[in-house]
């Protein structure tokens, strides 16, 4: 079978283990997955949910292999993490080498080269050619928390501005910054103070059309009236919102906000945790409109599945923090750094930015054709390999979460792993690994089409 998208991964991934083919040998979840799920229910806290309780033993390319021998097509990448594929060869090689050498010293005690090399790569790859510094952490939420710490230290101000539909994490500060109550916040307060929410540019759900610059003026007016520019340390925004519904702001929204930040001494923080590392068809989503953030938070796609996150930004802002003010026991762990260097080498050497664009070119026309046939699709949106459909009651813009769940369940039953998101729970999102084969991508879209038809 030819695979124009990834010729060398058309049958076996380069790690040599995973055949690139959907196979269903049992219903999903199969009997062994159901046994494991019974153990999960008895042993794991109920608050830790599992969307599709199919227990995975191996994965690579665009395929997840479960304990029953089923092979599922992966349109989720573990929530935008395994962009380079699971067990990607360069990640595996570097991790194996590193884990056999040393596993931990704590960078704050006795340092090692991998941490420095990851920071050098981040300083080189993130938008803007100004002098930069980076600091490494364990999770996306931790990176966002640290970006806020740094912005407050630099500005001497307290207030943090975030947006409707935003998702920034589940720690106390990032829960305050996240918009949606259920399931992220309900019952977990009180939340951190000095977090203010501004209206987002969400073209599909605007009551009347509004341009990006008008939407920015609306947000700025709220900030200036309700917070005050001179009290605002940071404005934190996802260039394309992830959990909030793959909301792509209207052109001009981000540049106008960035410009307002510059004029008012507010630190513009791009949360690129979901959009970063080639996912949207640029190395970072901000590049699409030439926006250069003061600070960028990254995680997810940075390290091929190992836990790593970072804050990267203007040297003078990053260096305003006193020695010892940033860090943590595991931040920039050597094994995670080795994985990141393998993932970054893969993205750059294998042209994954271009591959994300190719995925968009394949998916979007197909989804638009489905939108012409099926009235439930209100909008097709996204960029690169971060694409979604918003599901509505036909003929309206009323969100239909029940239909979204039905579609998702139908895809899962057929062996296609899709995720949902959105403030209203009505967005079906697609985040395939950037190394997925074209044949699997097409087959996944066929399954989706059948779900709509069913």
Ligand X SMILES: Cc1ncc(COP(=O)(O)O)c(C=O)c1O
Beta strands in 199-314 (DSSP E): 232-237, 267-271, 295-298, 309-314
CB 272 to ligand X: min, Å? 8
**DSSP state letters, 67-118:** TTS-EEEESSHHHHT-TT-TT-HHHHHHHHHHHHH-S---TTTS--HHHHHH
Q: Which is nearer to ligand X, 71 or 126 (CB)?
A: 126
CA distances to 98, 118, 119, 334 from 341, in Å: 11, 6, 10, 11
CB 103 to ligand X: min, Å? 21
CB 143 to ligand X: min, Å? 7
Q: Which is nearer to ligand X, 268 or 452 (CB)?
A: 268
Q: Which is nearer to ligand X, 107 or 167 (CB)?
A: 167
Residues in the site for ligand X, rule: CB under 6 A? 79, 139-141, 144, 167-169, 238, 242-243, 271, 273-274, 299
Q: Which is nearer to ligand X, 66 or 238 (CB)?
A: 238
CB 367 to ligand X: min, Å? 22
Q: Which is nearer to ligand X, 164 or 271 (CB)?
A: 271
Q: Could you tell me which residues come within 8 angstroms of residue 95 by beta carbon, excluding any fewer than 6 positions away?
A: 306, 335, 338, 339, 342
CB 179 to ligand X: min, Å? 12
Q: Which is nearer to ligand X, 277 or 452 (CB)?
A: 277
Largest distance between two CA atoms of the chain: 62
Q: Which is nearer to ligand X, 143 or 362 (CB)?
A: 143
Instruction: Give the phi and the psi of residue 313 in degrees, each rounded to 5.
Output: -175, -175
CB 250 to ligand X: min, Å? 19
**Rounded distance, CA 58 to CA 362, Å?**
27
CB 413 to ligand X: min, Å? 25
CB 298 to ligand X: min, Å? 10
Q: Which is nearer to ligand X, 242 or 444 (CB)?
A: 242
Q: Order of strands across the sheet with 427-430?
A: 377-383, 386-391, 427-430, 419-421
Q: Which is nearer to ligand X, 6 or 383 (CB)?
A: 383
List b or e across 204-243, with b for residues whose CB sees 16 or more CB atoms inside 10 angstroms: ebeeeebebbbbbeebbeebeeebebeebbbbbbbbbbbb
3-state SS, residue 277: coil
Q: Which is nearer to ligand X, 20 or 139 (CB)?
A: 139
Least Cα distance to 313 among 332, 299, 331, 296 occurs for: 296
Residue, CB closest to ligand X = 140
CA dihedral 438, 444, 450, 453 (to 10 degrees): -90
3-state SS, residue 378: strand
Residue 205 DSSP code: G
CB 122 to ligand X: min, Å? 16
Residue 249 DSSP code: P
Quick count: other Cβ atoms within 10 Å of Cβ 38?
11
Quick count: other Cβ atoms within 10 Å of Cβ 172?
15
CB 171 to ligand X: min, Å? 8
Helix axes 89-101, 334-349, angle to 10 degrees: 160
CB 168 to ligand X: min, Å? 5
Q: Could you tell me which residues come within 8 angstroms of residue 182 by beta carbon, excluding any fewer than 6 positions away?
A: none
Q: Which is nearer to ligand X, 301 or 415 (CB)?
A: 301
Least Cα distance to 104 among 339, 336, 343, 304 occurs for: 336
């Amino acid at each position: 079978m030819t695979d124009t998208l990834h010729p060398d991964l058309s049958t076996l991934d380069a790690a040599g283990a995973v055949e690139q083919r959907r196979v269903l040998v049992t219903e999903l979840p199969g009997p062994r997955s159901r046994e494991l799920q019974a153990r999960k229910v008895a042993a794991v806290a109920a608050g830790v949910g599992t969307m599709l309780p199919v227990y995975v033993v191996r994965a690579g390319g665009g395929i997840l292999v479960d304990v029953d021998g089923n092979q599922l097509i992966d349109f989720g990448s573990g929530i935008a993490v395994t962009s380079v594929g699971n067990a990607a060869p360069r990640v595996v090689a570097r991790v194996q080498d590193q884990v056999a050498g040393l596993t931990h010293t704590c960078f704050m005690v006795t340092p090692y080269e991998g941490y420095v090399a990851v920071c050098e790569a981040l300083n080189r790859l993130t938008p803007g050619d100004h002098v930069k510094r980076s600091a490494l952490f364990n999770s996306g939420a931790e990176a966002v928390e640290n970006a806020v710490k740094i912005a407050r230290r630099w500005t001497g101000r307290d207030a943090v501005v975030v947006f409707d539909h935003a998702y920034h994490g589940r720690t106390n500060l990032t829960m305050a910054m996240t918009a949606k109550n259920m399931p992220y916040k309900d019952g977990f307060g009180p939340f951190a103070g000095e977090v203010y929410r501004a209206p987002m540019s969400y073209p599909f759900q605007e009551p009347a059309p509004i341009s990006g610059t008008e939407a920015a003026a609306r947000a700025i007016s709220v900030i200036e009236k309700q917070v005050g520019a001179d009290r605002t340390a940071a404005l934190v925004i996802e260039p394309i919102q992830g959990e909030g519904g793959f909301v792509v702001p209207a052109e001009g929204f981000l540049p106008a906000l960035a410009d307002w930040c510059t004029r008012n001494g507010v630190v513009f923080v791009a949360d690129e945790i979901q959009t970063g590392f080639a996912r949207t068809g640029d190395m970072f989503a901000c590049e699409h409109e030439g926006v250069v953030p003061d600070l960028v938070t990254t995680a997810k796609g940075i390290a091929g599945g190992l836990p790593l996150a970072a804050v990267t930004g203007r040297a003078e802002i990053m260096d305003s923090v006193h020695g010892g003010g940033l860090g943590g026991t595991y931040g920039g762990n050597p094994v995670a750094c080795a994985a990141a260097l393998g993932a970054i080498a893969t993205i750059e050497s294998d042209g994954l930015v271009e591959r994300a664009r190719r995925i968009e070119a394949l998916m979007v026309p197909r989804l638009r054709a489905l939108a012409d046939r099926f009235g439930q699709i209100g909008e097709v949106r996204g960029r690169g390999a971060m694409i979604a459909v918003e599901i509505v009651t036909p003929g309206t813009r009323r969100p239909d979460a029940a239909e979204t769940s039905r579609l998702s369940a139908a895809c899962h039953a057929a062996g296609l792993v899709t995720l949902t998101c959105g403030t209203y729970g009505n967005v079906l999102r697609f985040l395939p690994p950037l190394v997925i084969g074209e044949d699997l991508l097409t087959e996944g879209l066929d399954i989706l089409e059948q779900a709509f038809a069913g």
